[in-house]
Structures are given as structure tokens and as C-alpha cells.
């Protein structure tokens, strides 16, 4: 079988002489027109430390593809730095960038008739964006993570970017002075790589390794270590072999492999954003998956890893302790993984993990032994009730008071809420409501790391509840509930909450309830009027028009032609 199944349409035949003329200008020679053309979706940029080291990886991938006998073509994809845009209007573009990345990779690969693609990404939306494109196109593909940042250090403790967000709350509450605030800022991010805890980037990289779309151990490597570049070149070799064998993404991205990924997300204490992204990936791959499936898996998978944001360690510590393969082997031994899932290497999960120990080394405590987990069940709970009939997502582990009933403090935006927290206007027992920040209402479903970190910094993490139709950063923890659906912009019950209403968040019962009568709720709904769109032109306007509910993954191509 020819390796260049797709690219033949631009390289073969007399009529393609002009096409070949263009390709000669970028380095093709006579023999190269019979080789597979492999795209390298390069997420390099100096917008963010997450992506600033990726260009070197793209060059190693390019070298590996040539060694394997194929022809590489590098093209760029965009990124948004969540950490830099956090708390600003710019954060509305973060989730939107997931779709832009997916569309750009699909456009380049399909427009150029590429035979396969190696996607390299760093910041949060790079990964699901790339995987959406990979699942849609279904051409041989592999994902390469740009790597995690190493921890910063100050006064004997490890720092991440979340440390800086929390320091803002500590400073506003008078707990630290400006000197310490500045010192944390100066030391939190020491170099290249994605945010260091088990935040969204490391969660998604870990999940992709578990799903079989990235090489073993690659998801927890530090961006600046030599092994990351070596792994990238190896990924290129593996991809070219997958092209020869026509091992396609939809053979790898299956219901079983997504269940494996979700099990690992629970075991490592991953980000709430993983729920949103895997609903979208499943949709793109044609796999049946609902928000309730996360709750089912949560009930049987323990949290095994002591990782930030609520734990002690960062991703590089997990890597030293055995990485994702060690976590997967523990799940496999206890029948919580599907062992027969195929991976991009051509091996099954069972074969990949054959030589990994059944239990982690006793010389570390990043990964707990099976009989002493961090928590007996997973941490990402799906809450429902009259405030979230389609569901909402909460991290429930590490919360000292998993049930709260308190008065609603209602805010129509993230900024107004943050101002109130920093001004000391939020008290113990309050339940904060931030609305009109959903996929359509924001638009873009901003992450709320600034207010949640300010709550933690003010010492109210176990005393205040927060609900929103927006999202939370992977760095968020505390009694917080996001992804409330239906969202306010479409008339969801969160739009009907009034200041002083009592709200119950009951994590053990997975309940999110507005404590008013059905009759009162119906009356408020009858009087509700939708708000005019915040944007009428450009990418945010298009996104708001097309985007689905967060309970369906906030995708933009769902039911486009339904009658």
C-alpha cells in the first residue's frame, strides 16, 4: 500500500506539474513525491511560557519524519494564554480558541491533502483543539505535549502560577505584604512549559496518553528537559509507521479509550475542564458520551495522586514517581481500565503497561498505594437540581464542608464579583452566583480563577460557595460549581436567582438547588427576558450564535442542519 494515500492528489500525474513546482520550492525533490506528506501543527508562540519552547520540538519532529522516510510540512496554530488573559475580557477568547485551533488544523491538513498530522501544543486549549481536528479528519495522527513548566521556589515551597493568583487574595486580606506578593510573582514561573500542577493542560496531556493518542510517559515531561525533545522525535517515527499501517484516530478514540482517559483524570485529580473537552472530543469522534458518564466513572475510581491545586506536588514530581503509566497500571490491576484498547504505537494498553510495577515505589508519596488513596472516589462530581437540570460540574474532594446552604450573592460578571471579594464584602456562609458568563452569554465561558483564588487567599475557601455558568481554571479548588446548564443567557434557572435567595450546594447528594417554590420559579421564568447579544460581529458573535450547551461540550458544529 502506498504511504501517500491522500497527498497523491497533489503530487501525482501530468496535471499536477504546477503543484509539484510549488512543492519543489519548499524542498521537495523527485523522490519525495512518492512519500507521505506529514503535517506538523506547530503551536509555537511567545504569547505564553506554555508554548515558547515548542518550535524546537517542531524541528525535532521534522527531523524524525524525514528519518522515517516521509516529508514534513510545518504550519502554525494559534494559542491564548489563559493565565495572562485571566480576569479580563480577553478570557472570553480562551474556549473560543479551542474551536479556532481545531478549525485551523482541519483546514490546513485537508486543504493540503496531508497524509497525517503531528500536533504539538502547550496551553490549555491547544490539546482539545488539536484532538477535535484529529477526530474530525480521521487521518493518522499523534499528539505531542509541549511539556510542563518546572516549579518555582520561594521560602522553601514550590510555586505555580496559581500561587500568584492566591497571593493577590492574601495581600487584599492583609495576610501578606507587598514585598511577599512581588516575590511570589517573580518566582512563580521560572521558564518554559505549561502550568505545573494538575491543572487543565497537564490533565489533558495525561488523558491523551491514557487514551492512546500520545506516547507513554510523554505527558508529564518537563518542557525544558532533553527527554521531551527525544520523545517528540520518537513520536514522529511512530506516526509515520501509523500512516503506513493506516492506524486511524477513530480506531483509537473509542468509548472504551475515553472511559480509560476519564478514569485517569479522576485518579490524578484533574481539571473540571476535562468534562467539557471530552464531551466535545467524543462528539467529534462519533462516540456516545454524556455528562452523567463522568459521574458513573467517578463512583468507582479513587483519587490516587497528591497533586496541586489542592495537593502538594506538581507534574514533574508525578513524572519522577512513575508518571501516567504507573497510575494506569494500578487502575488496570483493579479492573478499572479496558486493557484491549489500541494505542498509536500499535500496542494495546495491556502491552504498553506490561513491565510497569503493580504498585508505586514506597520511596515517594506523590502516587498513593491502592489501599491508602487520597480519596476513595473521584473528585469531579456532576450536580443536578432545579438550578442545573442539565448538570453542573464541581471538584468535591478536599472540601471540609461539602454541604452549604446560604444566601445568594448575585453578580452579573466576574469583574463585579472580584471587586466585592477584594473589598471584603463576601462573608462566611454566602453562596456567590456569577452568571451570564456561559458559552453564549459570555460569550466564551470564562474561567474564574481570579475570584476563586481571591476567596482562597482571603481564607474563605471552606466557608463560601460559588456557582457559575462559566468555567473554572484547573487551578481552582474549594466549594465551587461551574458549567451550570442551562446557562443564564438561554433562560436557565441561574438567571432567575435573586439576591438573598437561599441556595443549597450538597456535594455528597450531588444537588444544586434554589430554595424557592416551583410556582415562584415558574413566575420568574415567565417574566424573564433574554439580553441582547454582547457582540454582533467577529469571532465572539459567530461563536455565541453557534455554540451548544456546556452539558454537550460547548461545541460549534452540533445540529447545524437539523430541521
Active centre residues (catalytic): 473
Contact 506, 519 (CB under 8 A): no
DSSP 12-69: SSGGGHHHHHHHHHTT--GGGGGSPEEEEEE---SS-TTTTTHHHHHHHHHHHHHHTT
Contact 523, 495 (CB under 8 A): no
Contact 65, 140 (CB under 8 A): no
CA distance 329 to 333: 6
Peptide bond into 443 cis (omega under 30): yes
CA distance 280 to 285: 9
Between the two ends of the chain, the Cα-to-Cα distance in Å is 42
**Coil, strand or helix at 447:** strand
Burial of 411 (0-12, 13-18, 19+ CB in 10 A): buried
Angle in degrees, 0-180, between the axes of helices 273-285 and 255-268, rounded to the nearest 10: 170
Distance of CA 192 to the CA centre of its chain: 19
Residue 391 pairs in a beta bridge with: 485
CA neighbor of 456 nearest in space, from 444, 447, 446, 464 = 464
DSSP 315-334: HHHHHHTTHHHHHHHHHHHT
CA neighbor of 205 nearest in space, from 322, 141, 120, 139 = 120
Contact 297, 266 (CB under 8 A): yes
CA distance 472 to 272: 7
Contact 477, 421 (CB under 8 A): no
CA neighbor of 279 nearest in space, from 145, 95, 103, 443 = 95
Burial of 294 (0-12, 13-18, 19+ CB in 10 A): buried
CA neighbor of 268 nearest in space, from 148, 123, 101 = 148
**Coil, strand or helix at 491:** coil
Amino acid at each position: 500500500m502506498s504511504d501517500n494515500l491522500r497527498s497523491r492528489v497533489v503530487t501525482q500525474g501530468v496535471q499536477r506539474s504546477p503543484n509539484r513546482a510549488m512543492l519543489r520550492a519548499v524542498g521537495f525533490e523527485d523522490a519525495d513525491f512518492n512519500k507521505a506528506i506529514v503535517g506538523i501543527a506547530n503551536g509555537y508562540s511567545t504569547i505564553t511560557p506554555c508554548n515558547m519552547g515548542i518550535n524546537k520540538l517542531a524541528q525535532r519532529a521534522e527531523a524524525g519524519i524525514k528519518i522515517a522516510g516521509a516529508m514534513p510540512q510545518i504550519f502554525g496554530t494559534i494559542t491564548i494564554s489563559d493565565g495572562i488573559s485571566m480576569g479580563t475580557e480577553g478570557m472570553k477568547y480562551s474556549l473560543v480558541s479551542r474551536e479556532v485551533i481545531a478549525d485551523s488544523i482541519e483546514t490546513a491538513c485537508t486543504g493540503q491533502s496531508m497524509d497525517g498530522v503531528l500536533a504539538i501544543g502547550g496551553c490549555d486549549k491547544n490539546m482539545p483543539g488539536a484532538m477535535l481536528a484529529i477526530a474530525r479528519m480521521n487521518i493518522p495522527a499523534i499528539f505531542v505535549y509541549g511539556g510542563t513548566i518546572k516549579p518555582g521556589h520561594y521560602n522553601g515551597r514550590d510555586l505555580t502560577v496559581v500561587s500568584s493568583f492566591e497571593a493577590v487574595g492574601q495581600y487584599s486580606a492583609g495576610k501578606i505584604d507587598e514585598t511577599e506578593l512581588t516575590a511570589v510573582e517573580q518566582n512563580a514561573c521560572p521558564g518554559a512549559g505549561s502550568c505545573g500542577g494538575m491543572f487543565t493542560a497537564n490533565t489533558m496531556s495525561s488523558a491523551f496518553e491514557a487514551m492512546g493518542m500520545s506516547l507513554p510517559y510523554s505527558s508529564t515531561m518537563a518542557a525544558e528537559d532533553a527527554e521531551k525533545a527525544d520523545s517528540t522525535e520518537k513520536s514522529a517515527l511512530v506516526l509515520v509507521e501509523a500512516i503506513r499501517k493506516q492506524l486511524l484516530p477513530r480506531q483509537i478514540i473509542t468509548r472504551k479509550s475515553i472511559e480509560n482517559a476519564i478514569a485517569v483524570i479522576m485518579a490524578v485529580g484533574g481539571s473540571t475542564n476535562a468534562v467539557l473537552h471530552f464531551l466535545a472530543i467524543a462528539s467529534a469522534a462519533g462516540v456516545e458520551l454524556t455528562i452523567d458518564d463522568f459521574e458513573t466513572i467517578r463512583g468507582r475510581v479513587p483519587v490516587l495522586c497528591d497533586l496541586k491545586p489542592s495537593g502538594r506536588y506538581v507534574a514533574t514530581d508525578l513524572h519522577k514517581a512513575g508518571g501516567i503509566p504507573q497510575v494506569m497500571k494500578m487502575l488496570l490491576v483493579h479492573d478499572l481500565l479496558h486493557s484491549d484498547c489500541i494505542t498509536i504505537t500499535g500496542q494495546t494498553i495491556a502491552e504498553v503497561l506490561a513491565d510497569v510495577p503493580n504498585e508505586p515505589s514506597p520511596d515517594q508519596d506523590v502516587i498513593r498505594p491502592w489501599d491508602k488513596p487520597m480519596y476513595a472516589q473521584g473528585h469531579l462530581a456532576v450536580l443536578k437540581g432545579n438550578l442545573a437540570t442539565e448538570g453542573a460540574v464541581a471538584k468535591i474532594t478536599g472540601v471540609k464542608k461539602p454541604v452549604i446552604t446560604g444566601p445568594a450573592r448575585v453578580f452579573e460578571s466576574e469583574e463585579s464579583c472580584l471587586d466585592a471579594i477584594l473589598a471584603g464584602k463576601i462573608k462566611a456562609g454566602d453562596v456567590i452566583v456569577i452568571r451570564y458568563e456561559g458559552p453564549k452569554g459570555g460569550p466564551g465561558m470564562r474561567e474564574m480563577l481570579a475570584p476563586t483564588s481571591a476567596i482562597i487567599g482571603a481564607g474563605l475557601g471552606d466557608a463560601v460557595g460559588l456557582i457559575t455558568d462559566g468555567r473554572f481554571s484547573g487551578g481552582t479548588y474549594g466549594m465551587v460549581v461551574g458549567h451550570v446548564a442551562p446557562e443564564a443567557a438561554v433562560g436557565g434557572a441561574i438567571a432567575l436567582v435573586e439576591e438573598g435567595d437561599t441556595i443549597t450546594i450538597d456535594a455528597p447528594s450531588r444537588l444544586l438547588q434554589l430554595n424557592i417554590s416551583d410556582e415562584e420559579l415558574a413566575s420568574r421564568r415567565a417574566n424573564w427576558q433574554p439580553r441582547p447579544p454582547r457582540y454582533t460581529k467577529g469571532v465572539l458573535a459567530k461563536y455565541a450564535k453557534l455554540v451548544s450547551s456546556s452539558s454537550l461540550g460547548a461545541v460549534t458544529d452540533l445540529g447545524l442542519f437539523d430541521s
